[in-house]
């Protein structure tokens, strides 16, 4: 209700000349209870200025506030000035805004001409695409959609983990215990079995680690046998990854992984040397970060091979030259905070003033109710299995509740996968996520299926009304003067601001929460206000409100990467 805040600010500016408009806006708040008004202005800060009790100040200021079109009533209560809006102009303006702009409501051009690079998902080649990769994938996908909605040109990068010592380990495991036929038939599960076996064998025979390091060095030096095996592992992995991305409806603009930067690292290492940033330490090369109270950033190992930091620094410089980003966002687990802080600092020490455009977006861990995941020990749960299980469980619910539903397969897929994505994006991203089927697929709780079902309910009302194509400008929105209708409009009105806030804070959960508020307020309206049986003019106005809700629920779910079924 930004326009209303501006109106209240103007009224208070006349009554309180001692405060600047910016100070007045900062103090305006939303009361905890509806009966206390739509907005409140606390007078406690004025006690020192006027040398009076806040209760007395509030009473005196109320007398000075002139009449206003948007404000129905002003009251002084316990040191607060409470403002009650005139609902008719507010409801009319909100609904017309939504219904005119439709799916563009809340969009913006603030990002026009600016490039945003988003680095997300990034599974490791030859390792299972497990549930632990879900968070980076869906958070990144949501941030991509959100920024695009605000006019930014987005570049989604899947920085595949397709280089490193783990491939040396896999080559050793394959040569000792592997079979080409088994890998061709079973894919990643067989590669993972070999990887797990390597670690269990290496505990008894540490020489295997040296052998693995040698094979990785061969890869870096261009050994044909090593590279052929690596390419084969990569092809097998990408086929399986693509199936998961297809289920999630996630795509990328670039799959340039770690290996892409192999021929680009040496000039960067040389640049670090020329800028006197590299030091020798036990044969390795490091950038000392002791002045920043951080451990050193390792650039090359003693055998000359590179590390994650080397590749990340090289990738950032390449991306800046290629995309000229205004922000480059990295979505990884919270436990990688130090790694990003270290190499961001190296970029700064190299003299690149765009280091401040590098942003790490950390998130908490995801776990099943049975506990933590580990690739090395082999107790992983494949993401593809989880997604397919969600679809199957949703099918069972549909068969039980609505067996005659058309397109059951597609709807089960949209709802099952939507449930997983919404569960991940509903809480602040820094919080850990626990995977619970009962909670996630509940159609009555604070879940994805609940929001999707609300959207389908709105679509059903619109279809039954026969008024979907009505002209909204001539409707009598002043008839929507009940508290349930007004509350729906309040939630609708705040949607554009929430999208911008989600982009600024890199926090998709703000949108999840907003559309949950909208679904809940709409369902209250649906139960309290007859729609199709109401008097004709009231019916038309209420159907228009239903249409506005349907539009915003569909947009909000879309920004999160979730489909909005029209039937459920």
Q: Which residues are catalytic?
A: 127, 130, 133
Instruction: Locate 167 and state its tokens.
Output: 């491939």
CA atoms 121, 126, 129, 132: torsion sign: negative
Transcribe 62-100 into DSSP letters.
HHHPPP-SSEEEEEEETTEEEEEE-HHHHHHHHHHHHHH
| Contact in structure between 458 and 546 (CB atoms under 8 Å) | yes
The total of other beta-carbon atoms located within 10 Å of residue 383's CB is 24
Tell me how long the chain is.
568
| Contact in structure between 355 and 348 (CB atoms under 8 Å) | yes
Closest Cα to residue 340, out of 276, 281, 270, 289? 289
Residues with Cβ < 8 Å from 38, sequence gap 6 or more?
Answer: 1, 4, 30, 31, 83, 84, 85, 490
Give the whole-angstrom CA distance, residue 396 versus residue 298.
52
Give the whole-angstrom CA distance, residue 541 versus residue 537.
6
- CB-side exposure of 241: number of CA atoms within 13 Å? 26
CA atoms 234, 237, 243, 246: torsion sign: negative
Give the whole-angstrom CA distance, residue 247 versus residue 417.
8
Give the whole-angstrom CA distance, residue 194 versus residue 192.
5
Which SS3 state, helix, strand or coil, does residue 375 take? coil
């Amino acid at each position: 209700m930004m326009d209303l805040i501006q109106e209240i600010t103007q009224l208070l500016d006349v009554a309180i000349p001692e405060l600047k408009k910016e100070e007045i806006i900062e103090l305006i708040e939303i009361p905890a209870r509806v009966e206390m008004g739509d907005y409140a202005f606390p007078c406690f800060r004025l006690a020192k200025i006027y040398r009076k009790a806040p209760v007395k100040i509030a009473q005196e200021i109320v007398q000075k506030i002139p009449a206003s079109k948007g404000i129905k009533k002003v009251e002084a209560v316990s040191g607060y000035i409470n403002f009650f809006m005139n609902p008719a102009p507010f409801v009319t303006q909100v609904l017309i805004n939504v219904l005119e702009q439709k799916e563009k409501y809340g969009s913006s051009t603030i990002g026009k001409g600016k490039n945003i690079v988003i680095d997300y998902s990034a599974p490791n080649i030859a390792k299972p695409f497990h549930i632990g990769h879900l968070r980076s994938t869906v958070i990144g996908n949501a941030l991509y959609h959100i920024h695009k909605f605000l006019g930014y040109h987005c570049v989604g990068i899947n920085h595949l983990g397709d280089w490193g010592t783990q491939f040396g380990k896999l080559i050793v495991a394959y040569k000792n215990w592997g079979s080409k036929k088994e890998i061709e038939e079973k894919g990643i599960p067989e590669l993972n079995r070999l990887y797990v076996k390597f670690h269990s064998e290496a505990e008894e025979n540490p020489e295997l680690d040296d052998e693995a390091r040698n094979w990785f060095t061969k890869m870096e030096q261009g050994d044909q046998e090593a590279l052929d095996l690596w390419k084969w592992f990569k092809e097998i992995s990408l086929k399986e990854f693509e199936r998961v991305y297809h289920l999630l409806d996630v795509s990328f603009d670039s799959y340039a992984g770690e290996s892409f930067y192999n021929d680009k690292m040496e000039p960067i290492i040389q640049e670090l040397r020329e800028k006197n940033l590299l030091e020798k330490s036990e044969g390795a090369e490091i950038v000392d970060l002791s002045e920043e109270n951080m451990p050193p950033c390792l650039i090359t190992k003693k055998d000359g091979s590179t590390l994650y930091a080397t590749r990340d620094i090289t990738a950032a410089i390449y991306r800046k030259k290629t995309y000229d980003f205004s922000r480059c966002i990295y979505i990884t687990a919270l436990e990688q905070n130090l790694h990003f802080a270290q190499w961001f600092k190296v970029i700064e020490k190299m003299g690149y003033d765009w280091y401040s455009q590098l942003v790490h977006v950390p998130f908490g861990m995801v776990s099943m109710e049975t506990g933590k995941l580990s690739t090395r020990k082999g107790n992983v749960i494949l993401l593809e299995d989880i997604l397919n299980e969600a679809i199957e469980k949703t099918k069972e619910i549909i068969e039980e509740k609505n067996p005659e539903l058309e397109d059951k397969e597609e709807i089960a897929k949209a709802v099952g996968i939507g449930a997983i994505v919404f569960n991940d994006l509903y809480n602040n991203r820094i919080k850990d996520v626990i995977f619970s089927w009962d909670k996630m697929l509940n159609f009555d709780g604070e879940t994805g299926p609940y929001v999707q079902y609300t959207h389908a309910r709105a679509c059903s009302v619109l279809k039954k009304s026969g008024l979907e194509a009505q002209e909204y400008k001539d409707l009598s929105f002043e008839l929507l003067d009940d508290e349930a209708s007004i509350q729906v409009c309040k939630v609708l009105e705040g949607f554009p601001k929430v999208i911008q806030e989600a982009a600024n804070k890199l926090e998709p959960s703000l949108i999840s929460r907003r559309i949950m508020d909208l679904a809940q307020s709409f369902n209250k309206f649906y139960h309290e206000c007859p729609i199709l049986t109401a008097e004709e003019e009231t019916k038309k106005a209420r159907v228009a409100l239903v249409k506005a809700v349907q539009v915003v629920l569909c947009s909000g779910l879309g920004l999160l990467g979730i489909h909005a079924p029209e039937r459920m």
